[in-house]
Amino acid sequence: MSRKVTNYVKIEGNLRWESIWYLAKRELLAYVRNKTRIITSIAQSILFLFVFGLGGFNTQTPSINGVEVSSLAFTASGIAAMAVLFSGVFGGLGIIRDKLFGFMNELLVAPVSRRTLMIGKTLGVALQTLVQFMLITILSASLGFYGYDLSLIWRVAATIPAGLLFSLGVVGIGMTVSTRLTDFQGFGLIQTFLIMPMFWLSGALILFPEQFRLIMMLNPISYGVDIFRFILLGVSVFPFWLDLLVLTGFGALLISIGAYSFTRMEIN
């Protein structure tokens, strides 16, 4: 008997853009139709904003590299990054749902390459994440957290590409994990041991003193938070080029791992 470990059959072939678009559209439609999800995430953001922005957890005005910034602006930009992290990872985890409810079978038996499926799914979740993130950014910008001046419009606009770049890596995390999980029980595990530490150690809501900066530097999420601060507040912990570099590398790496896991994924 031959020792062949792989059970899946690979479909070679080019990317099919129409398929990718329809797959992405499916994710977007699912997001828009799920009103409770939109409402809960906004409510959660407002709660965080209220507690951390006004509640006095930050007893002194937060300062980034010696520059004092408004507590509300600091918190709002952190929450925007939080939206990307949560929505991206859980969107990527949506694959488990497809697997459990059998829809993945329908996708896998279709005559399209796994890469097409993977890109469609990733794009969909990234766009979903972007919508979520923009809702919060526009809300906080219109409340005046980032000040009212002429540059506000382009600053908000500039967060779009930054948010998209950031979300790719995050979606990659969700994808990679979900191709290995077979039920929802892993969700709590991921929440506790992956998302929460990454979020709290990123400086999104609480900035660590200088001597603990290394923790932040090792966490890729910190650079996502930082790039938003750079764009919206004009000050950042790390230089802009470093943010860009790390996020690009992180995104490319996680998407590749995600794609690899996805093409190797096996199912009934």
- Is 4 a residue that touches another protein (CB under 8 A)? yes
Among 30, 134, 152, 235, binds another protein (CB under 8 A): 30
Give the CA distances from residue 35 to residues 31, 38, 209, in Å, rounded to whole numbers and listed in that order.
8, 5, 39
- Is 95 a residue that touches another protein (CB under 8 A)? no
Distance between CA atoms of residues 49 and 32, nearest Å: 23
Our CB check for another protein shows the closer of 181 and 242 to be: 181
- Is 37 a residue that touches another protein (CB under 8 A)? no
Q: What is the DSSP string of 175-219?
A: HHHHHH--STTHHHHHIIIIIHHHHHTTTSSSPPPGGGHHHHHH-
From 1-9, 147-155, 158-166, 200-208, give the range in contact with another protein by CB under 8 A. 1-9
Among 15, 43, 67, 102, binds another protein (CB under 8 A): 102
Give the CA distances from residue 170 to residues 86, 104, 198, in Å, rounded to whole numbers and listed in that order.
9, 21, 11
Residue 103 C-beta: closest distance to another protein, Å? 5
From 7-15, 145-153, 191-199, 245-253, give the range in contact with another protein by CB under 8 A. 7-15
Give the CA distances from residue 75 to residues 50, 110, 203, in Å, rounded to whole numbers and listed in that order.
9, 45, 10
User: What are the φ and ψ backbone dihedral angles of 56, each rounded to 5 degrees?
Assistant: 85, 20
- Is 144 a residue that touches another protein (CB under 8 A)? no
Footprint of another protein on this chain (CB under 8 A)?
1-13, 16, 18-19, 22-23, 26, 29-30, 33-34, 98-99, 101-112, 182, 266-268
